[in-house]
Structure 1
């Protein structure tokens, strides 16, 4: 079996799941890192188990002494030793379990932090392809399952192993002939457990995958509730949810079937040795080959052995769930980086794309050999019909995606050769998607520049026409926003995103419909306000409102993944090509010689 499942490729929407080899390797790394704490836990539990072994031996001794006619003083002495052993075992068990919980919490805290570091470091292109369902499932259900496993299952299994080994040794030491029936349990437990473990990992991985699909469907339905309602897709979405629920049900039913076969076989393997030991031991005692005390001690040890063996096998089921979740969580780390930093530094701020091609699915290029050179400080508007590849081009120019072939460079250095933090100092992307994080408005702004002063925050808000409403908030910039706080309107959230852009201060900006949530008049006013901020910067504006194209230095028309026209607004209108048709549709009136129009219709530039 391979170490990991196939790594996602362009067009794949699956996040990888680590294979058995990777899981074992990560587990060994953790064991080595926490070997001292693990040794302390095992040592304390071992001592507690040894103290617990005194009970059956002392009771067997009592039985033999009483049978031999020993006095009350001898019985009292053995009883005192038994009581002392119980007290010692109780104290050691308390210390051992406390240490186990501390170790479990420590290990899980590290795993959780590593997981979040890996999630935050995921390439944006990978996250977009995978969607929210799989990632949400890994950060919720899988993390919860792993938490339970690390905190309880792993310590319990280790303790059960120690107790089982020591109790087995004590059982045969008390009377090996009497203890022979214990071996009956081995083939029963081995066969049933091997059958279960052969099928359980794949079953639990399938279960996790079905929950990821269901979460994705529910999330998409909730996020697009208005669209679902507007287009009358409610019945179809319900059928999709029902289908995904059926898949979850079938996956759960399969793992339940595995447990329903395994658990009864385990129970049978527990009780058969007890009955066999009593019958066999009674016969040996009758033949004079064993004492009644030996039979008593061995039987008690066999009964005592049921506890750790039952705990060991019961927790194995939880281990399978946790191992599947662990594989899905550490699989995040197998996502390949979408860039390899070369250490080269750009020589200038020129942005250039050379013969760029890009495909979301293999064999289906969205961009087909696009080449564009941007001079520092130039403003380029990118227009064209829906699905032409405008947003994809913008993402390549911002370094979000790397081209399949060709190069996108800044100052002669490919964008994918720059460290992500370095890249964001050169090029930044703002889309129509916006995010308001939990915290104050000031905290949201300082995501772009943690050292920004209050004056800098105010200047950034003023640059995007947001200072007025920000100062009117109940606590001003200290007002809590996001989930559980004040809910910002979509236009306010978009202005917040643009204010972050001002604070980030890159030399090149890619605006992908960044003002689409504002009404045309407000968007026009905002763009004019931004002009002072954008002065001297290179701007690539993917525009639906053609007044942006009218004001740009050059306009690139993208059709079918190619640049069909590029030039100034006036040149393209005079050429009478695709851009002229878009402009005529936008203005809904013949253009004048200066490229102006008699009205300002809000028809989208996406319309041909």
Structure 2
């Protein structure tokens, strides 16, 4: 199986720094929750101590019923205070942590969306989606349940240990007999757990990538009879994720055995010591009873800390994956450069994917203001890569790419996207209204401007016929659109954004013969007055271009107008002859 270059994973120091940076913005609820957690811990040590006092009162026979009831009332009040403080502390912690998590998710998604498309494709869609989906859900579940319980358990351990020490130092010392066994268990577990969870999260990301790739490519795979390969890949990654999950549970099972041994050693030591001290008259039966209850009360908190630490480790691994995305390069700030009628120039441009061969080789190209340049060639000739380079979605491995003399690398992504728009064969219809699909990134546009863009893209008619017009929800779970309508909506979005340069990468290839002419006319209208690079699926699109480039093996092998290239009798003439014979359009 090929190893993908997944997005980075932050180290512990970086993850901690990122978490604190987000949490300190919500200090007040965070501090209040810490205070209330302390109240919970204090209320928890009251019942064992009071129960010990009740034992002494009953044993001496000197106390009254009223005194016993009063002590019982103290236990009830402490339980009530502890319950209220528990609920309030969890709520305040959520008020501090959940907004921080929401901000982290937004920051991660924003940073990912500003990366080069090539980098994200190299990592795989599943890696990105598992981080903003599965990892955020893992952290959110910990914030709602595991983290409050972990803090309460840690506080209970501290206060109970102090209460045991105050009760009698010898009983506390007996309880410490369990400490070495707990430490041995932790020392065995901690170095092993973090790598286990890291591998588990990576395996889940690989599984998500395999599932998404299989679902998106299902029609093509079935048509080619290769769907079994997708099933095998999904099965491979699913089994890998299952193996990692089983390994984690096996690790936990071995930890539980070590915890049970520590509990047995500690409780036995406290009971034996209490018996000896009571026999010698050094402590009362009530004190020995309270000590045993105190130590027994440590079972659940210590077990919870170790068990919940399992979830905290998983959350830590997820947080490290999110923080790792934030370590990717920041997008360059906007310089507010406005390109009105720019010149695009490529000089000696080559590009390769990873360690593979060059797919674009030594391309020199100038696109003048308002000029339409079409690119044709056989499959694999490098047309799409060239289009992606001109659009700024893929960086050149070698050579210079400039707009009005400014290197692409020196221009902020906001400025570049404002100047250059890309419409590919695989357009995305956002799951929202038609209006928001057109104004995506330009929320300042009014309805008149939206309708004007729709008219340019020749989709005013069918949008008017929709149940709610501009307010009709389309995309996932919305009103279904055909491939041609989705392309028209993408072209309308380009018209609304009004870029100086448009790159069409087989943008009308998905339309059937009935919709091809409408899409071609829509594309021509949108391109009016703009510079354009058109990767032509149908040669009818190239025929009316100002200039045609013919690519083979990553190089431009022919260049000229349609008539000149046909008369030349070269590669384009061969393509034109084959296409015009087979396609009536």
Pair 98,568 (structure 1): closer, same or farther in 2 beyond 3 Å:
closer
Offset of residue 129 of structure 1: 2.4
Equivalence for 1:248: 241
Indicate yes or no: 2:35 matched with 1:46: no
Bigger CA drift: 507-516 or 143-152?
A: 143-152
**Contact 1:37–1:103 under 8 Å retained in 2:** yes
Pair 234,170 (structure 1): closer, same or farther in 2 beyond 3 Å:
same
Equivalence for 1:494: 487
DSSP 3-state at the match of 1:14? coil
Alignment of 1:170-185 (within 5 A): 170-185=163-178
Equivalence for 2:208: 215
Among 463, 478, 487, the alignment partner of 2:471 is 478
Query: Using the alignment, how far apart are the partners of 2:519 and 2:67 within structure 1?
Result: 96
Offset of residue 377 of structure 1: 0.9
Among 56, 67, 79, the alignment partner of 1:64 is 56
DSSP 3-state at the match of 2:492? helix
Equivalence for 1:576: 569
**Contact 1:440–1:480 under 8 Å retained in 2:** yes
Pair 547,96 (structure 1): closer, same or farther in 2 beyond 3 Å:
closer
Which 5+ residue runs of structure 1 have no aligned equivalent? 1-10, 589-598, 603-608
Offset of residue 363 of structure 1: 5.4
Indicate yes or no: 2:270 matched with 1:277: yes
Equivalence for 1:3: none
Residue deviations 1:127-155, cap 9 Å, x none? 22222222222232212111111222222
Query: Using the alignment, how far apart are the partners of 2:14 and 2:80 within structure 1?
Result: 43
TM-score (norm 2): 0.93
Alignment of 1:68-87 (within 5 A): 68-72=60-64, 74-87=67-80
Residue deviations 1:7-61, cap 9 Å, x none? xxxx954122222222222233244333432221121121222132222222223
Equivalence for 1:440: 433
DSSP 3-state at the match of 1:434? coil
Offset of residue 260 of structure 1: 1.0
Equivalence for 1:401: 394
Bigger CA drift: 567-576 or 75-84?
A: 75-84
Pair 166,364 (structure 1): closer, same or farther in 2 beyond 3 Å:
same
Residue deviations 1:277-320, cap 9 Å, x none? 11221012112333222211211111122232222112101101
Query: Using the alignment, how far apart are the partners of 1:534 and 1:93 within structure 2?
Result: 63
Indicate yes or no: 2:260 matched with 1:267: yes
Residue deviations 1:547-571, cap 9 Å, x none? 2222111111111111112122222
Indicate yes or no: 2:18 matched with 1:26: yes
Pair 501,87 (structure 1): closer, same or farther in 2 beyond 3 Å:
closer
Pair 480,78 (structure 1): closer, same or farther in 2 beyond 3 Å:
closer
Query: Using the alignment, how far apart are the partners of 2:69 and 2:429 within structure 1?
Result: 73
Offset of residue 340 of structure 1: 7.2
Structural RMSD (CA): 2.4
Query: Using the alignment, how far apart are the partners of 2:462 and 2:172 within structure 1?
Result: 82
Query: Using the alignment, how far apart are the partners of 1:177 and 1:207 within structure 2?
Result: 45
Query: Using the alignment, how far apart are the partners of 1:422 and 1:138 within structure 2?
Result: 28
DSSP 3-state at the match of 1:563? strand
Alignment of 1:187-226 (within 5 A): 187-226=180-219
Indicate yes or no: 2:160 matched with 1:167: yes
Equivalence for 1:596: none
Query: Using the alignment, how far apart are the partners of 1:465 and 1:116 within structure 2?
Result: 33
TM-score (norm 1): 0.90
**Contact 1:339–1:416 under 8 Å retained in 2:** no
Pair 125,59 (structure 1): closer, same or farther in 2 beyond 3 Å:
same
Equivalence for 2:535: 542
DSSP 3-state at the match of 1:290? coil
Indicate yes or no: 2:28 matched with 1:14: no
Equivalence for 1:8: none
Pair 395,235 (structure 1): closer, same or farther in 2 beyond 3 Å:
closer
Query: Using the alignment, how far apart are the partners of 2:186 and 2:506 within structure 1?
Result: 58
**Contact 1:104–1:155 under 8 Å retained in 2:** no
Query: Using the alignment, how far apart are the partners of 1:494 and 1:573 within structure 2?
Result: 30
Offset of residue 346 of structure 1: 5.5
Residue deviations 1:484-532, cap 9 Å, x none? 1111011111111111111111111111111111234642344345434
Indicate yes or no: 2:308 matched with 1:315: yes
Query: Using the alignment, how far apart are the partners of 1:18 and 1:124 within structure 2?
Result: 21
Residue deviations 1:398-439, cap 9 Å, x none? 111221222211111122322222212211111111111112
DSSP 3-state at the match of 1:480? coil
Pair 487,60 (structure 1): closer, same or farther in 2 beyond 3 Å:
same
Residue deviations 1:358-381, cap 9 Å, x none? 121135222122110111111111
**Contact 1:448–1:503 under 8 Å retained in 2:** no
Bigger CA drift: 32-41 or 77-86?
A: 77-86
Query: Using the alignment, how far apart are the partners of 2:83 and 2:475 within structure 1?
Result: 50
Pair 210,579 (structure 1): closer, same or farther in 2 beyond 3 Å:
same
DSSP 3-state at the match of 2:353? strand
**Contact 1:464–1:529 under 8 Å retained in 2:** yes
Aligned pair count reads 582
Residue deviations 1:539-590, cap 9 Å, x none? 11111211222211111111111111212222222322222222222223xx
DSSP 3-state at the match of 1:482? coil
